[in-house]
Chain A
Amino acid sequence: MTPRRKRLFVVLGILGGVAASVSLAVMASRENIMFYYDPSQVALGKAPLAKRFRIGGMVVKGSVARKPGDLQVRFVLTDFAHEVPVEYTGVLPDLFREGQGIIAHGTMDSHGAFVADEVLAKHDEKYMPPEVAASLKNKPAAGAAAVKPTS
């Protein structure tokens, strides 16, 4: 084999490897990319029933409830147009509180409640996840103060 052909062979081999790993990644990601829906979309039945997705909104004031001593917590998420009840079992993030914008990962159960396996509240208490801010902004009834972007 001439050096030229050998190098060509090497480069082709490596390109093949890269292509294989890329397609592998794409295949893997199809299972693991999660779409975002806001409470209105969920309430209107646009969110998938079987697949995991993300939901974001404000935690309705006074909605956080749990049985004393129990790890399971329920609260209601709103985008000021529709509300969705959420269930979560585990330790909530430090910055989780009522009136705060949060994002939850999980699936819908058969009773129309969202069962979260992960709840995210961001570092900055004034921080509103952009998706949440956008879905709140599109609702006319939204309180202006609540939608104010971070400063």
Chain B
Amino acid sequence: MAPELGIFALILAFILSLSQAFFGLTGAWRGKPVWMAVARPAVTGQFVFVVMAFACLVYSFVNNDFSVLYVARNSNSQLPLFYKVAALWGAHEGSLLLWILILSIWSLAVAAFSRALPLTFSSRVLGVMGLISSGFMLFTLWTSSPFLRLIPAAPDGADLNPVLQDFALAIHPPMLYTGYVGFSVAFAFACAAMLEGRLDQTWAKWTRPWTIFAWLFQTIGIALGSWWAYYELGWGGWWFWDPVENASFMPWLAGTALIHSLSVTEKRGIFKSWTLLLAIFAFSLSLVGTFLVRSGVLVSVHSFATDPTRGLYILAFLVLTIGGSLTLYAWRAPKLYAPGGFELFSREFFLLVNNVILAAVAALVLWGTLSPLVYELLGVGKISVGPPVFAVMFLVPMLPLMVFMAIGMHSVWRRGKLTATAKPLWWLACAAILLSLGVQGLVFGELHWLGLLGFSFGFWIIFSALLEPLRRLRQKQTLTAALLGMCIAHLGVGMFAIGASGVESYKIEKDVSLKPGGSFRIAGYDFKFVSAANVRGPNYDAVQAEVQVTRGGKPVTLLEPQKRHFWVQQTANSKAAISVNWARDLFVAMGDPLGDNAWSMRIQYKPLVRYIWLGAIVMALGGLIAATDRRYRVKVPAAAPGLVTPPDSRAELGSA
């Protein structure tokens, strides 16, 4: 009963989203308030029915209804309850339903918080979002329904893929999707502004908090994915430049650029068409990501089931969305030209540099991700682009970006000179280099060019980010949420730079063969394989090794990695054991029994690796603080069509 109800609810939601799109868009076009008034209730209705459809699938999972094909494929009666629910988005069909649910939550939020906006504008925004959700619902109903029955029912399910039975991965897709889908709001705002033919600074002010929220969720989502890959896949790497990772990283880059260019559009009323283009790209890259993941055109560790129909549908949807929005852009953007100059080394200049570099990196990553396809289509051969290529493409533009970031935080609008607070910046740069040399020499005992660059830039950015908030605190001046958020987010970038360059410079990774009693030393730590024993989990058996870690004879920690064998899928999965502290991770993962009582083991020393994810969390926190700035709260329904706030010409700090 539940799956049928689910399908029915999804069809109703589809019809409601169609009417949301139709009445929202044509109502605004024809200027009919009665039509436009339909859009909001349609959003609410759509939300209710999507939640119902989602609940039906959750119900089927929790109750082990293996007469539902999707449940039978992705769950099992022995699966712990938490993973039964998480299994819902463990494969293609269910993750689409999650996507739709999140989109309807965003739509509901937009509907709820856009009452202060002009009616035509908000109904256009909701109309565009209705188009997007109806596209995704049609896709789900047509090619990927999770509610199909399996007759006769399976006696038990095929189980969730063991590598997905993990906490971080259970919450990674919802976070990432919240980010992906959130860019649809910025996209809808951009389309609505173009349809309206009006894009002023209030528009940017409305769009900014939405974009920041989407961006911060995506930041967390990507960090979770990276953390998961690090401890769960058993390789100990934190980023693989896998097509699917790139698919999430490209919209993030475009979204980061968008946040910065929106600040110029808001403060100065310039960069308008560029901002629009970025809003279109951020969402389009999210769709490209979906296409790459779901169609199976690229080899990836994340490849879900591949199906040509699905690939074709997403491709068509992609062409329609990107083609449609770019056509609209070509038609409307020339009207939006706003004259306005700025000096070299003004804040506008620094943000322009930020945008150009981030866009270039996104383009390079896109090129690297797609070039295997291009090579194959050209018949040159089957190639793969290795991580070193991506590392160079990422690192080379990032170095100047970090310099511009450290200085740009202290620039002012219009005029090409820095604030008085920036005076210590130059000797702080020297201090950062000295500190970096000191850390390398004293802690790691070895100089490494990547470490030198990463530490120096990282420390410099952190110092620079702290300057202004500290000055204001000392002089008891007000510190706006936007300024504080900006500084904290940049502080996170500094932490990330230190973590990433530290682990890449000083990591030690060894694959060894150990017998009980044998030990191996890396980075001064002795890893002693004490014994191996059989243990039993809720749905697996495992061999658990006891590895004692000592340093100079003093005990450090006891690590217990497992090699799990899952009953249902008959697959092995190694669970790494990691000892964490503020300076380093010690990582042990079990390989295979090598005969003669020996086991292959992967032993790793990962200095500073935690600062990668901590940096990402701090970045997201900065976004959260900035988004709560009072400036973004639209209180009165003041902005009647045509009303334009005067350009804000004050040389004000703290809005980037």
A interface list, Cβ under 8 A from B: 3, 6-7, 10, 14, 17-18, 21-22, 24-25, 28-29, 31-36, 54, 66-71, 89-95, 122-125, 127, 129-131, 149-151
Contacts and interface: CB of A to CB of B under 8 A. Distances in A.
A123 B389 contact: no
A142 B23 CA distance: 56
A21 B364 contact: yes
Interface string B345-360: 0000100110011001
Interface in B304-338: 305-306
A14 B341 CA distance: 18
B596 A36 contact: no
A25 B356 contact: no
Contact of A94 (B349, B389, B572, B594): B572
A58 B487 CA distance: 53
A22 B357 CA distance: 11
Given A122-B303, A123-B301, A127-B303, A21 B360 contact: yes
B382 A125 contact: no
Contacts of B424: none
A135 to B, nearest CB: 9
B524 interface: no
Which of B302, B513, B571 has most A Cβ within 10 Å?
B513
A122 B594 CA distance: 22
Contact of B592 (A25, A91, A123, A151): A91
Contacts of A35: 381-383
Contacts of B598: 68-69
Given A124-B161, A151-B305, A29 B385 contact: yes
Contacts of A123: 161, 163, 301-302
A95 B397 CA distance: 37
B78 interface: no
Contact of B364 (A7, A22, A70, A92): A22
A131 B389 contact: no
22 contacts: A10-B349, A14-B352, A24-B392, A25-B392, A33-B371, A33-B385, A34-B383, A35-B381, A36-B381, A66-B595, A68-B596, A69-B513, A69-B596, A69-B597, A70-B513, A71-B511, A71-B600, A89-B511, A91-B589, A91-B591, A92-B600, A124-B303
- Residue of A29, A68, A91 with most partner-chain B CB within 10 A: A91
A66 B163 contact: no
Given A25-B364, A122-B303, 8 more contacts: A25-B389, A32-B389, A66-B594, A90-B511, A93-B234, A94-B571, A150-B303, A151-B305
Contacts of A68: 594-596, 598
Given A71-B512, A127-B303, A149-B306, A21 B596 contact: no
B63 interface: no
B641 interface: no
> How big is the B interface, by class?
35 or more
Nearest to B355: A14
Interface string B583-603: 000000101101111101110
A25 B392 CA distance: 7
B358 to A, nearest CB: 11
Given A90-B600, A91-B601, A94-B571, A21 B396 contact: yes
Interface of B: 161, 163, 234, 296, 299, 301-303, 305-306, 341-344, 349, 352-353, 356-357, 360, 364, 367-368, 371, 381-386, 388-389, 392-393, 396-397, 400, 511-513, 515, 569, 571-574, 589, 591-592, 594-598, 600-602
A30 B305 CA distance: 32
Contacts of B353: 14
A68 B389 CA distance: 38
A125 B396 CA distance: 38
A95 B572 contact: yes
Contacts of B511: 71, 89-91
B571 A95 contact: yes
B164 to A, nearest CB: 8
Nearest to A90: B511
A94 B296 contact: no
Does more than half of chain B's interface fall in helix, strand or loop, or is it mixed?
A: mixed
A91 B600 contact: yes
A139 B587 CA distance: 43
A35 B384 CA distance: 6
Contact of A21 (B303, B393, B594): B393
B594 A70 contact: yes
Nearest to A120: B301
A66 B364 CA distance: 42
A28 B397 CA distance: 14
A85 to B, nearest CB: 19
A56 B391 CA distance: 25
Nearest to A33: B383
A24 B299 contact: no
Contacts of B512: 71
A151 B92 CA distance: 11
Nearest to B298: A130
Contacts of B302: 123
B609 to A, nearest CB: 19
Nearest to A7: B341
A69 B384 contact: no
A67 B353 CA distance: 58
B380 to A, nearest CB: 9
A71 B193 CA distance: 62
Given A6-B344, A66-B595, A28 B600 contact: no
Nearest to B589: A91
